[in-house]
Amino acid sequence: MEERKRYSGKVDIGLKSPKYLVELAKVDKHFGSNHVLKGVSLRVKPGEVCSIIGPSGAGKSTLLRCVNLLESPDSGNMVVAGQYVDLARPLDKRSLLQLRRNVGMVFQSFNLFPHLSVLENISLPQRRVLGRSAEDAKAKSLELLERVGLADKAESFPSKISGGQQQRVAIARALALEPKAMLFDEPTSALDPELAQEVLGVMKEVAASGMTMLVVTHEMNFARNVGNHLVVMENGSIIEEGDPEQIMTEPKLERTKQFLSAVINH
């Protein structure tokens, strides 16, 4: 209510975008009779690394997937990189592609295209989405492969490289489109700890480059040391939000304390 009042001055949608790169207001979503997002509002500033944690089934991934409309919410409003979206209405194709152009995504299951080489995986979207020439796309791809430490794997097929390497390629593929924000949906959950570390290392580097990131994760060290905005979700709502260090050391809610001690001591 308080926030509603704060923003109701100009436009009656509860949003004020320039200060924030990603802004969600009262996002509501059902899966059948299951109320998975209960009017969630979230603001992420440019360059911020926002980690979203919480028990499974809390709605973390669903919330993240609403940002690029892989899930369509029932209602709410959103501004992403200056583009306003009324979530209650279906978005036209053009605006949808525009939105996705601004937002990159990395999945838990990597989702590289298995019939294309590593290089083609990164180059094809650049050519199709940005209209880059084959040469420009290739140059950009190789530059990014260098950045994620996989220059020697350009010609490999995804099934021939490790999970951690696949995920680094997936990050490069998303970065190649020069998004304004990146979404990471449990990027290390399918990896064993050692491979997870190399992916986290790349993510840390991406964060350091100034990229705005929304990360659904169980990696508390990443959330604490790399993240500068922590969101705790439970049962379709954000229950606590703020500075990661502060929440991890002095959670306001008993529920947050419980959850943190469960994941940190496991």
Partner 1 sequence: MSGFLAVLAAVPITLLVTIGAFAVGIVLALGLTFMRRSKQPWLRFPAQAFVDLARGIPPIVWLLFLYFGLGMGVIKLSPLQAGVLGLGVVSAGYLAEIFRGGLLAVHKGQYEAGEALGLSAWTRYSKIIAPQAFKAMLPALATYFIGLVKDSSIASVIGVKEMVFTANQYARRSDDGIYTFFLAAAIYIAVSIPFAVVARRMETKLQESAK
Q: Residue numbers of the site for partner 1 (CB under 8 A)?
A: 68, 70, 97, 100-101, 103-105, 107, 109-115, 124-125, 128-129, 157, 159, 173-174, 177, 183
**Distance between the two ends of the chain, CA-based, in angstroms?**
38
The tokens for 168 are 């680094």
Give the nearest distance from C-beta 253 to partner 1 in angstroms. Answer: 33
In sequence order, what are the residues at sequence separation of 6 or more whose Cβ sits closer than 8 angstroms to the Cβ of residue 115?
none
Give the nearest distance from C-beta 193 to partner 1 in angstroms. Answer: 23
256: exposed, middle or buried (Cβ count in 10 Å: 0-12, 13-18, 19+): buried
DSSP state of 127: I
Give the nearest distance from C-beta 229 to partner 1 in angstroms. Answer: 22
Angstrom distance (rounded) from CA 88 to CA 114: 35
Give the nearest distance from C-beta 16 to partner 1 in angstroms. Answer: 26
Give the nearest distance from C-beta 112 to partner 1 in angstroms. Answer: 8
Contact (Cβ atoms closer than 8 angstroms) between residue 58 and residue 235? yes
Give the nearest distance from C-beta 265 to partner 1 in angstroms. Answer: 32
Angstrom distance (rounded) from CA 218 to CA 227: 13
Angstrom distance (rounded) from CA 238 to CA 33: 20
Q: Indicate the pairing of strand 75-80 with strand 22-31.
A: antiparallel
Angstrom distance (rounded) from CA 56 to CA 139: 40
Give the nearest distance from C-beta 87 to partner 1 in angstroms. Answer: 17
Q: Which is nearer to partner 1, 136 or 241 (CB)?
A: 136
